[in-house]
């Protein structure tokens, strides 16, 4: 059974301003006053964040709504990718960051974040979205795929669209002998981490590399950022890639085998997968991380998802900065913020219990 993806309009972006920031709150003390300004909310100042490109459409909607209610506040978000976002957060260049994988200490990132914040960072889920396997194949609008076949395509073992493994999943579809050109992210990417995590756990042994933010094998075509992957797939016949579903417009999207079903990417399927997933071993009251169940056979689920997180410090150098970060991120995880993201990007709203836990974690943000 193929479930239809939800399409929604994207809220226009807000121009990104260049801000010189040297530490958590340090570069904003003059702009983010301690509750001053003419805004009726009492918030005034500038705050810069960035990271996950998958969050970009949602971030545009969140900033537009929040700044509309707080006209003396300017919030910028640079969609440089999850890895670059975490690095800028750990250095203090970003006061908050978006990351499509939860932070760990595998490469010392958690230790760096602790050093920058002076304590454990706050990490809360903010954006749940399906990752679409996008393709561009002349004469073919839809295909069914399973994790093993996708693994073999991206590993370079399946090289033509009429390969018997693909044909067996697409009875009655006239598949051409067009060469397959896989497209992967060239940058450090949380989307890549989630995609390779899915292949590793659900690929029935066909994918032998560990999940990684960086593409682990040679071959195929590379492109920077979500927009780069989409452009590369659109630019050639026979191409296939992976991208946040909110930014995959105009391309074919594979339906994935889940149990006995073939399910297209959808917000509902993403939410159902999170509901059957468990907290990560590193999870705590302030770091709400989840290990996604990639092998679920739950009816309607879509296990190729990303749960994108927000990173923040528990304290900042000025009360004004702390108030803006706390208020903005709390809005994002609220029911209003989650509905704004759903309308703009087709994401799945956080379950109420997760939203409340995220709100509680963010409530501690304050001035040093």
Asked whether residue 9 is assigned to any structural domain, the reply reads: no
Q: What is the pLDDT of residue 246?
A: 86
Q: 118 and 153: one domain?
A: no
Percentage of the chain with pLDDT > 90? Answer: 80
Q: Are residues 64 and 190 in the same domain?
A: no
Q: How many CB atoms lie within 10 A of CB 352?
A: 10
In a domain, 231, yes or no: yes
Q: Say which residue the tokens 């927000």 belong to.
A: 310
Identify whether residues 264 and 140 lie together within a single domain.
yes
The packing angle between helices 56-69 and 319-333, to 10°, is 120
One domain for residues 117 and 174: no
Q: Are residues 141 and 269 in the same domain?
A: yes
Residue 279 φ then ψ, to 5°: -60, 145
Is 12 among the domain residues?
Answer: no
Burial class (CB in 10 A: 0-12, 13-18, 19+), 115: exposed
- Report the distance separating Cα 317 and Cα 6, nearest Å: 42
The H or E element that residue 126 is part of is strand 122-136
350 located within any domain:
yes
Residue 30: give its domain's CATH number: 3.40.190.10
Residue 158 sits in the same domain as residue 266: yes
Domain-embedded: residue 1:
no
pTM metric for this prediction? 0.79
Say if residue 104 is in the same domain as residue 148: no
- Between the alpha carbon of residue 149 and those of residues 92, 162, 207, 252, 256, the distances in Å are 42, 12, 10, 17, 10
Please check whether residues 106 and 144 belong to one and the same domain: no
| Nearest CA among 362, 222, 203, 365 for reference residue 287 | 362
Q: Tens digits of per-residue pLDDT, 159-201?
A: 999 999 999 999 999 999 999 999 999 998 889 999 999 999 9
Q: Judge if 254 and 138 occupy the same domain.
A: yes
Phi, psi of 54 (to 5 degrees): -65, -30
Asked, for residue 298, whether it belongs to a domain, the answer is no
Residue 247's pLDDT is what? 86
CA 260-262-264 angle, to 5 degrees, is 150
- What's the domain range around 204? 131-273
The total number of structural domains in the chain stands at: 2
* Structural domain contains residue 4: no
Residue-level pLDDT at 275: 87
Same-domain status, 123 and 135 = no
Question: Residue 215 in contact with residue 222, Cβ under 8 Å?
Answer: yes
Question: Is position 332 within any domain?
Answer: yes
309/122 Cα distance (integer angstroms): 10
Give bridge partners of residue 46 from the DSSP assignment: 74
pLDDT tens digits, the chain, 368 residues: what are they?
333 333 333 333 333 333 333 334 433 433 443 333 334 578 999 999 999 988 999 999 999 999 999 999 999 999 999 999 999 999 999 999 999 989 988 889 999 999 999 999 999 999 999 999 999 999 999 999 999 999 999 999 999 999 999 999 999 999 999 999 999 999 988 899 999 999 999 999 999 999 999 999 998 999 999 999 999 999 999 999 999 998 888 899 999 999 999 999 999 999 899 889 999 998 999 999 999 999 999 999 999 999 999 999 999 999 999 999 999 999 999 999 999 999 999 899 998 889 999 999 999 999 99
Nearest to 214 by CA among 107, 139, 127, 286: 107
135 and 220 both lie in a single domain: yes
Please, are residues 352 and 360 in contact by the beta-carbon 8 Å criterion? no
Residue 153 and residue 221 in one domain: yes
């Amino acid at each position: 059974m193929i479930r239809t993806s939800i399409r929604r309009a994207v809220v226009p972006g807000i121009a990104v301003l260049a801000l010189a920031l040297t530490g958590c709150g340090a570069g904003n003390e003059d702009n983010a006053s301690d509750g001053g300004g003419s805004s009726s909310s009492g918030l005034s100042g500038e705050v810069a964040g960035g990271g996950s490109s998958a969050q970009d459409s949602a971030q545009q909607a969140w900033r537009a709504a929040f700044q509309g209610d707080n006209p003396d506040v300017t919030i910028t978000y640079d969609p440089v990718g999850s890895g670059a976002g975490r690095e800028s957060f750990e250095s203090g260049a970003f006061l908050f960051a978006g990351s499509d994988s939860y932070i760990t200490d595998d490469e010392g990132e958690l230790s760096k974040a602790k050093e920058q914040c002076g304590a454990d960072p706050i990490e809360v889920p903010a954006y749940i979205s399906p990752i679409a396997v996008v393709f561009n194949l002349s004469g073919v609008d839809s295909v069914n795929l399973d994790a093993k076949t996708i693994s073999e395509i991206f590993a370079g073992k399946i090289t033509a669209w009429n390969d018997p493994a693909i044909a067996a999943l697409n009875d009655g579809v006239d598949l051409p002998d067009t060469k397959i050109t896989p497209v992967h992210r060239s940058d450090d990417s949380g989307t890549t981490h989630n995609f390779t995590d899915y292949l590793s756990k659900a690929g029935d042994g066909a994918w032998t590399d560990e999940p990684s933010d960086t593409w682990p094998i040679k071959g195929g075509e590379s492109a920077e950022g979500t927009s780069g992957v989409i452009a590369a797939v659109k630019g050639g016949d026979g191409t296939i890639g992976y991208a946040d579903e909110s930014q995959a417009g105009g391309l074919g999207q594979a339906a994935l085998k889940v149990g006995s079903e073939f399910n297209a990417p959808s917000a509902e399927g993403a939410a159902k997968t999170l509901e059957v997933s468990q907290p990560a071993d590193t999870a705590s009251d302030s770091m709400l991380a989840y290990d996604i169940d990639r092998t679920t056979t739950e009816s309607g689920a879509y296990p190729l998802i990303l749960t994108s997180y927000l990173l923040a410090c528990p304290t900042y150098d000025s009360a004004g900065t702390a108030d803006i970060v706390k208020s903005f991120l709390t809005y994002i995880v609220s029911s209003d913020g989650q509905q704004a993201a759903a309308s703009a990007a087709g994401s799945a709203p956080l379950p109420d219990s997760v939203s409340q836990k995220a709100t509680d974690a963010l409530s501690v943000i304050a001035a040093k």
